[in-house]
Structure 1
């Protein structure tokens, strides 16, 4: 039985997939199995994975595309490790990630069932460095990482005050993953966050204060897709949302502000301004990002 089962769902990412697989195999905690679940890719994913001459690499493939949640569940079903570790196929781990996380959990009491770590976002080559510097000087978004705890963190996640990059940072005890029946396959967005919230209702989440994940920028979903997924997400946790809003936390307004930014960035100013009016008032640290969305929106409209 390996200590950690690494689950890598993938779809048409044969060009970057080796980076993720190699980073999982090169861990200082080498007692791992790396389960790559190919969600019906049409590129060279299969020969890329099967070219690895390492018994720790396991390849599974879906005949039809079923989505990231289903792919992760396929990996979880065959996983034999004490812990499940999640890794997106376009991300990369530092060599000590699993060793540091497993060591952290083993030094704590049984109520600590999961861990995440710090993240470094690899610079976007298309980003304007002067603009990025301006945003950092004016202020940062209110979201943070580093919080630890149990069910009380659900508020921070729903209010978007805590971002964990769970899809590539999270390790969870396999027994807990089995208890909550893995991922909810009705989610095609927010699946990592939805999964983490259910984990937090079973035990506590630890944090390793080191940047052990490299995330690479990639194109995101459309504002309409996020809007639909966001509605499903908030409806799923409606009881928590109502309880928080009764206590004065504007969960809905926080999510409306995020949607406003997406619509503005696409140059769709009418729905963007509508969501901005119903969203929370942005803090000074959010203004550079909001201004960037408006400028980007005008650029998108000019090029359309």
Structure 2
């Protein structure tokens, strides 16, 4: 039996500085690109935990085609959803800092290095996130819209808009557990809900440089209006007390809920739009969409889609 250990052995036995968690479900066509972007990082002291959420395609073969010893592969017997798969990945991690990646997105090579440097310089930071490039077909845009982001009051900015993309987020594990991790009951906006809870108890920092390329792929839940509505209602249920303290936020959330109801074919959303308009009558968005709601749900959706095309 070998009992002598070299310095190299000791380095290998130390926990990596950061654990990267990728949940995936039937994304074999995109997963390899995502994994390569992590393995190509300039910061190399990490472990990569791929949580296969009961895929039925060739996901396992894709992961095992990489020979890098930093990769761990965990296949789940039952599909639990992205939020719980991430929670499971954090539970498997050996590092005190966690980074999240999505199976259809790409990191820029310096992503981890820049985020880890931030956390290393400031022990008071609970986490950090960055801008990202959103790619949808031939259209590209930098997210989030910084005109609506106030770094001096990140909590209120989080309550207003979803400004954190999960693949941009690097967080201390103790803070992640302190806020309870991802809400596995939410099919959508788990990142937004987590960011709200994080910003309420912890200091966060935003990097303006886009360090992630987020690809909108076929089958993405982001196009599901019903999931959009249910997630909004869940976030308001959890954070409504904080939202309603600000008249502007209250008006914004009346609009969000009314808009989602109308796009789902529920005309009761018109009353919420009217209440939003009376609380913020200078918003041209509220005026235009309230007037369009007078033509029924189909008329509302037509105007909404037209405005969306103009914005894009």
Is the structural similarity TM-score above 0.5?
A: yes
The reply to whether residue 2 of structure 1 matches residue 4 of structure 2 is: no
How far does residue 251 in structure 1 lie from its aligned partner after superposition?
Answer: 4.0
| Structure 2 Cα separation of the partners of residues 248 and 272 of structure 1 | 17
| Residue matched to 2:212 | 213
Which is bigger in relative contact order (C-alpha 8 A, separation at least 6)? 1
| Residue matched to 1:294 | 302
How far does residue 179 in structure 1 lie from its aligned partner after superposition?
Answer: 2.3
Indicate if the aligned counterparts of 1:141 and 1:285 stay in contact, CA closer than 8 A. Answer: no
Structure 2 unmatched ranges of 5 or more: 1-14, 293-298, 307-312
Q: What are the Cα deviations for residues 45-86 of structure 1, in whole angstroms up to 9, with x where unaligned?
A: 111112210111111111111111110011000111231111
More helix, by proportion: 2
Aligned residue pairs, count: 276
| Residue matched to 1:176 | 175
SS of 1:84 mapped into structure 2: strand
| Structure 1 Cα separation of the partners of residues 44 and 155 of structure 2 | 33
| Structure 1 Cα separation of the partners of residues 57 and 271 of structure 2 | 41
List aligned pairs for 1:1-304, cutoff 5 A: 1-108=15-122, 110-125=123-138, 144=147, 147-148=150-151, 152-160=153-161, 163-165=163-165, 167-218=166-217, 219=220, 220-245=222-247, 249-256=250-257, 258-259=259-260, 263=263, 268=265, 270=267, 276-279=273-276, 282-283=283-284, 294=302
How far does residue 230 in structure 1 lie from its aligned partner after superposition?
Answer: 1.3
Cα RMSD (Å): 3.3
TM-score by length of 1: 0.79
| Structure 2 Cα separation of the partners of residues 221 and 123 of structure 1 | 12
| Structure 2 Cα separation of the partners of residues 72 and 205 of structure 1 | 20
Classify 1:157/1:64 alpha carbon distance in 2 versus 1 (closer, same or farther; 3 Å): same
TM-score by length of 2: 0.77
How far does residue 121 in structure 1 lie from its aligned partner after superposition?
Answer: 1.7
Classify 1:62/1:84 alpha carbon distance in 2 versus 1 (closer, same or farther; 3 Å): same
Q: What are the Cα deviations for residues 16-73 of structure 1, in whole angstroms up to 9, with x where unaligned?
A: 0111111111110001111111111111111111221011111111111111111001
How far does residue 107 in structure 1 lie from its aligned partner after superposition?
Answer: 1.9
Indicate if the aligned counterparts of 1:116 and 1:206 stay in contact, CA closer than 8 A. Answer: yes
| Structure 2 Cα separation of the partners of residues 45 and 14 of structure 1 | 5
